[in-house]
Structure 1
Amino acid sequence: MPTVAFHTLGCKVNFYDTEGIWQVFKHRGYEQVPFEEKADVYVVNTCTVTHTGDKKSRQMIRRAVRTNPDAVVVVTGCYAQVAPDEVARIAGVDLVIGNDQKSKIVDHVERVQKEQHPYQSVGNIMKADAFEELDVPYFEERSRANLKIQDGCNNFCTFCIIPRARGLIRSRKPENVLAQATKLAQAGYREIVLTGIHTGGYGADFVDYRLAHLLADLERIELPFRIRISSIEASEIDDHLIEVLGRSQKVVNHLHIPLQAGSDEVLRRMHRHYTVAEYAEKLKQLRNALPDLAITSDVIVGFPGETDADFEDTYAFVEEQRFSQLHVFPYSQRRGTAAAKFKDQVAEDVKHLRVARMIQLSQRLEADYARQFVGRHLDVIAESPVISADDETRRAFAAHPEQKRMLVGYAANYLRVAFRVPEGTPLEALVGERMRVRIVETGNGVQLGHFVEQLTFADQDEHGVAVSTSGRLTS
C-alpha cells in the first residue's frame, strides 16, 4: 500500500483542505503516515499571509525532501498559488498544485510518477468561478469539526495577499453544506465550525441566499450539535442575521468580528468597509439581541501611517467595546499588496511597544469577561485531558491535586475551561462530548469549573453511526 504524509501551515481552511486531500488519497488506496516518517508522497499545504509563512513553508518542503529524496514532494496552498515558480525552484519539489486543483491531486501525482519529471498545475485563481468540493466525513484526532462553506474574498484590503492566493468568493451549494453538516453530526461531532476565507461573505455569489439563510437551514437538522462561525465582518451583519442569531438554539454566543483598527483614517487606508461608528453600532445591536455575547476580534498595530494618536484611538475603542479576547498582530509588509508600497512605514520598535500594550489590554478584558461567569453554568465540549493539553493549560494546573482526573475544553462563549471528572469514568470516553460545568474560579487563559452533568453521549446505532443517548452522568 503506498503511503502519504501531510504538513499543513496557516489557517483553519488549510487544515480543512488537507483533510479533504487525505480523503482523496485514502479512496485511491493510500495509507497515511506521520510527516516525520518515510513516505512515498509528501504534501505540504502552504501559507503566505506573511513572509514568515513563506519561510516556514520552504523549511517544511526541504524537510520532506531530506526525509525521503525518492518521494514525490507536492506543494499546494497559498504560497504555491502566488509564487509557483519560486516554489518549483526548490530542489526536490516534484509538483506544484494551485488552490483550485486539490481534488485532482492524486491524478497529478500519478502523472509525475509515470512521466518522471516535475511540473506545475497552477492557473489564474481569479478566474475560478465554482467552489471545489472536498468531502471530509471526519477529522483525525479532533474533537470539533470544521466545515468549509466558501472560498475566496472580494474585499482586497491593502494589507492582504489572500485574494491573489484564493481568488474571488465561491460559495458552497447550500444542499452540500447541509449534507456535510449532517454527516459530521452523525459522526458524533458536537460542534461544527463554519469556516472559509471570508466566511461572512457566504452567498455573495448567489441570488437571495446568504449566511443567515444557511444558519436557518442548519437549525432544522435534528441532531445534537452547536454551530460556531469562524469569523464575520461587521459590514456583513444585517438585521436578518441578527434575527436568526437571536432565535437560534444551535449558534453559540460567540462571534469573531475583525476590527483591525479603531481609527477611521487607518481603516480608510486599509480599505476596510466600515467606520468606527458603524462598527460600534453593529456591536450594540448584537449585544441587545444576545445577552452575554462574547465578541473576539483582530487588531493590526503599526499599519503604515498609524500615528500615536491613531493607536490611542484604537486602544480606547477596544477598551470601550469590552472585547472578550483579541488577536494582536504587528503590521508586516507583504510583497504584492498595496500597503507594502506605502511610504510612511512605522518603526519596528514602535510596533513592538504597541503590540505589548494591546496584548496587556486583551488579557485584562478577557479576565473581566470571564469573571462575570463565576457561579454560573456553561456548556463545555471536552477537548482533551489536562495532562495532555497545551503547555499553558498544563502549567496552570500542574500543582492541582486532581489534574489527572481533569478535562479541558471550550465553552460555547469560547472561554477555555478545565474541570474534574467523577471517578469511574474514563476521561477518553468523554472527549468530544458536551458537559455542563459550573465556573468556580477564573484564571489567566483557563478557567476552573466543577462538573455538573454530561449532556451528550456517544453510542452507535445498527449502522455503526454515532448518535446521542439520553443517559446522564452527574456529579
Structure 2
Amino acid sequence: MGKVAFYTLGCKVNQYETEAMTELFEKNGYNVVESEEVADVYVINTCTVTNLGDRKSRQFIRRCKRKNPDSIVAVVGCYSQTAPDEVSKIEEVDVILGTNDRNKIVDYVKKKKKQKEKINVVTDIMQVRDFEEMTIDNIKGKTRAFLKIQEGCNQYCSYCIIPYARGPIRSRKLDDIIKEVKRLVENGFKEVVLTGIHVASYGKDLDKGTLLDVIKEVNKIEGLKRIRLSSIEPTIMTEKFVKTLSELDKVCDHFHLSLQSGCDETLKRMNRKYTTKEYMEVVGRIKHYMPEGSITTDIIVGFPGETDEEFEKTMEFVKDIKFSQIHVFKYSPRKGTPAAEFENQVDGIVKNKRSEELISVAEKFAKEYNKKFIGQNKRVLFETKSAEQEGYYEGLTENYIKVLGKSDKDISGKILNAKLEKIYDEMVFGSILDK
C-alpha cells in the first residue's frame, strides 16, 4: 500500500489518536515511517490551542508536498475542526477531517486516490453525542500507555477554543476501557495514564459511572502496576475522591491540577469554576492523604486585564503551594473566544517578563521538591535510554520524579528500586538496587 508518516502537535489526547490512526494504516498494509521521510501519505494531527500550533501545522503541510508532490496530505484534529475553510484554502491539502470520524481516515485516503477534488468531511462537532471508539493494541517503544476515556468539554473557559474544537462531553464505555487496558497489559505495559479533554467530567453524559468508578475498576486489573491521571480539574478532588484514591494501591501520588491563575479576579474573568481558597483546600487534602504527593500545574500569564498586582498574587500563591512542576503559557488570543475581545490586552514584553519570572520560581521549587527525596529508595519505571547520558536510562517514580539510572542491560519497561542520590538539572541520578 505504501508508506505513511504522521506529524502530531499538541496534547496527550492527540498523541493517543495518532497512535490509533497509525494502527489503522498498519492494518491496511501501510509501512509507518518518520515524519521527515518521504511517504505516500502524510497525516498531520493538528492543535489550535495557540497561534503557534496553527502556524506549525501550515509549515509542515507545505513541507510534506515538497518532499513528495504526489503524496496525499490529510489534515485532522482541532485546527481543521475550528478553521476548515482556512485549511481547505491551503493548496497542498487533500483530505480534511476534524475531531470526529478519524477511524475512517484510511477510507478517505483511498477515496482521494481515485478523485481529483479535495475531500472535506469536517462535520458540526456540536451535534456529535457519541464517543468515537479508537483503540490501540500496541504502542511502539513506550512503557506508559495513554488511554483516552473521554472527549469534549462543556466548561467554556473564556480563553479556550477547545470546546468549539472538540464539542460537548462524551464518555467512553467502561467495558471498552477495561478491554483496552487488559490488551495493553498483555502487550507489556505497566502503567496507564487516563486521559481526555476534560477527564473530570467523565460519566456526566452516561446513565451511570463516574471517573472514580473507572479508576476503581482499572485498579483491579491483574498485571497493571500503575494508574496515573492526566490534567484534572481541582473541583473533582473532594474529600471522598482523594481519600479513595489514596486507598487504591495502583494510583500514583501525582496530580496535574489545572490552576491557570493564582488570583481570584483573573480566575473570574477566565470563567474558571473555583477560587484560590478552594484550590488550596484541594492541595491540603492531597498532602493529608498522600504526604509525598507531587502537584504539577499550568499557569497562563498576561491574560487580558492582568495587572502587576494580579500577577503578584499568582506569584505569592505559587510560593505558598510550592508546585513540583509548572507549565507556563503566555496568553495567546484565539479568535472566536470571549477573551480575544476583552479590553486591556497585555503587552508582549510584559508577558515575556512575567513568564521568565514565573519559570525561574518554578525551577527553584522543582529542585526543592526533588531534593526532599535524596537518599530515599524509590520504585522507578524505566522508559528509554537517556539521550544526554551515555549508559543511562530515564524513568519516573510514582510521584513523578524523573530518574536517571545507569545500566549495561536494557531496563526499559522494568520497575526497579533505585536510591536517589544527586540532583541533575530537573532530574535525579539514582543507583539501581535491583540486580
Match of 1:66 in 2: 66
Q: Deviation per CA, 1:324-360, whole angstroms, max 9, x where unpaired?
A: 1101111111111110100111111111111111111
Q: Given that residues 190 and 432 in structure 1 are in contact (C-alpha distance below 8 angstroms), is that contact kept between their aligned partners in structure 2?
A: yes
Match of 1:436 in 2: 417
Match of 2:398 in 1: 412
Deviation at 1:110, TM superposition (A): 1.6
Deviation at 1:413, TM superposition (A): 1.0
2: CA distance, partners of 1:442 / 1:200:
34
Q: Given that residues 143 and 188 in structure 2 are in contact (C-alpha distance below 8 angstroms), is that contact kept between their aligned partners in structure 1?
A: no
Match of 1:31 in 2: 31
Match of 1:303 in 2: 303
Correspondence 1:91-130 to 2 at 5 A: 91-130=91-130
Query: Identity over aligned residues, as a percent?
Result: 43
1: CA distance, partners of 2:364 / 2:81:
40
Q: Given that residues 264 and 275 in structure 1 are in contact (C-alpha distance below 8 angstroms), is that contact kept between their aligned partners in structure 2?
A: yes
Q: Deviation per CA, 1:420-449, whole angstroms, max 9, x where unpaired?
A: 22xxx523xx11211111111123201111
Match of 2:199 in 1: 199
Q: Given that residues 363 and 444 in structure 1 are in contact (C-alpha distance below 8 angstroms), is that contact kept between their aligned partners in structure 2?
A: no
Deviation at 1:116, TM superposition (A): 2.6
**Structure 2 portions without partners, runs of 5+:** none
Deviation at 1:197, TM superposition (A): 1.0
| Matching of residue 327 in structure 1 with residue 332 in structure 2 | no
Change (3 A) 1:323 1:301: same
2: CA distance, partners of 1:261 / 1:151:
25
Deviation at 1:72, TM superposition (A): 1.3
TM-score by length of 1: 0.89
Q: Deviation per CA, 1:115-144, whole angstroms, max 9, x where unpaired?
A: 232120001101110111111111122232
| Matching of residue 355 in structure 1 with residue 355 in structure 2 | yes
2: CA distance, partners of 1:101 / 1:411:
37
SS in 2 for 1:115: coil
2: CA distance, partners of 1:232 / 1:365:
21
Deviation at 1:191, TM superposition (A): 1.4
2: CA distance, partners of 1:82 / 1:226:
36
Which amino acid counterpart does residue 451 of structure 1 have in structure 2?
I
| Matching of residue 287 in structure 1 with residue 283 in structure 2 | no
2: CA distance, partners of 1:282 / 1:404:
41
Deviation at 1:85, TM superposition (A): 1.0
Match of 1:50 in 2: 50
1: CA distance, partners of 2:195 / 2:335:
26
Structure 1 stretch 33-42 or stretch 166-175: which is displaced more? 33-42
Q: Given that residues 3 and 41 in structure 1 are in contact (C-alpha distance below 8 angstroms), is that contact kept between their aligned partners in structure 2?
A: yes
Q: Given that residues 252 and 413 in structure 1 are in contact (C-alpha distance below 8 angstroms), is that contact kept between their aligned partners in structure 2?
A: yes
2: CA distance, partners of 1:113 / 1:408:
43
2: CA distance, partners of 1:405 / 1:41:
36
Which amino acid counterpart does residue 7 of structure 2 have in structure 1?
H
Change (3 A) 1:152 1:92: same
Match of 1:262 in 2: 262
TM-score by length of 2: 0.98
Aligned-residue Cα RMSD (Å) equals 1.2
